[in-house]
Structure 1
Amino acid sequence: MQTPPPGSEPSNYPRQNLANDRQVLREVAASQRQILLCVLGQIGVAILNGVVTAAKMPSLAILVLIAILAVLVFMIMSVIRLAKALALSPVLYTILMFIPCVSLIALLMLSGKATARLSQAGIKVGLLGADPNSI
């Protein structure tokens, strides 16, 4: 097996596809932003549910239930998208979304993995993740 001389680019060795990697990083950044919005949505729905329960307003309870289901569907879609972008098992994380407190922890774990991946690539990650348009 021949090794290339130092300082020269090997021509017959596989090169990393930078355009494909950039697309994956954009997908990770967009999905992480959705995951963080899911965290905010889950907290907001929990607060809204507590207020409606304390006020004993059954007519608003149906609207809260619809909001909970909408957040759950958005969480599942976002988790599948981010897990696929990070090459993780989307089935495991999807199952975790149905367990109330565990789902919040799973969302934060996924967000942490996405932050590590983006930071490793040298992308600045803010409070709501990295801006996919800047990648």
Structure 2
Amino acid sequence: MAIPLSRCQLITLAAAQRELLRAVLAGTLYHVGILVFIGVFVGLFKEISSQTIVALAFGLAVLAVCVPILQILSVARISRAMQENLSTAIVFGLLMLLPFLSLIVLLTLNGMATKQFQQAGIRVGLFGANRSDIRNYAE
């Protein structure tokens, strides 16, 4: 059975979950960009100019640096909010460096956070925990 969380812990977890969901969105956009870039080289998009290809490559290069950093930071924050041990947080953080697998790990962590909210009686939607439920939470 899970340890009941205080309102302060729920607020911290909700903020970490929202950050994690942003990391999921950024990772998804990055992976879609990779697939489009591969499609350009395979020849699926024939009418793309060389300037567009360079812009896409530059954008993907920037995302290749920024997205894993965002994901690692969000994993560290939600792991701390869920009171995971340090070795688990490190393993999850290292998995953020692996494309596509990182999204699976992020969604797993989101599911773990959602389960904690549901055990506390907090409703969880697409964008995370319901703030009014957290505000009205009786410890």
* TM-score over 0.5 for the pair: yes
TM normalised by structure 1 equals 0.77
- Cα RMSD over matched residues? 2.2
Question: Is 1:66 aligned with 2:66?
Answer: no
- Aligned residue number for residue 109 of structure 1: 108
Task: Indicate the larger mover: 80-89 or 30-39.
Answer: 30-39
1:55 to 40, 57, 77: 40
AA at the equivalent of 1:117: Q
Distance 1:39 1:126, change over 3 A: same
Contact 2:117 2:123 in 1 (8 A): yes
Task: Indicate the larger mover: 66-75 or 44-53.
Answer: 44-53
1:52 shift after superposition: 3.1
**3-state DSSP of counterpart to 2:121:** coil
Distance 1:133 1:76, change over 3 A: farther
Q: Which runs of 4+ in 1 moved over 6 A?
A: none
TM normalised by structure 2 equals 0.75
Contact 2:24 2:103 in 1 (8 A): yes
- For structure 2, the residue ranges without an aligned partner over 5 or more in a row are 42-52, 135-139
1:120 shift after superposition: 0.7
Question: Is 1:30 aligned with 2:15?
Answer: yes
Question: Is 1:96 aligned with 2:92?
Answer: no
Contact 2:123 2:133 in 1 (8 A): no
- Aligned residue number for residue 124 of structure 1: 123
Distance 1:69 1:131, change over 3 A: farther
Task: Percent identity, please.
Answer: 34
- Aligned residue number for residue 137 of structure 2: none
**3-state DSSP of counterpart to 2:97:** coil
- Aligned residue number for residue 85 of structure 1: 81
Distance 1:128 1:36, change over 3 A: same
Distance 1:22 1:101, change over 3 A: same
Distance 1:115 1:91 in 2: 21
Q: Deviations over 1:43-64 (max 9, x none)?
A: 1111122223433524431221
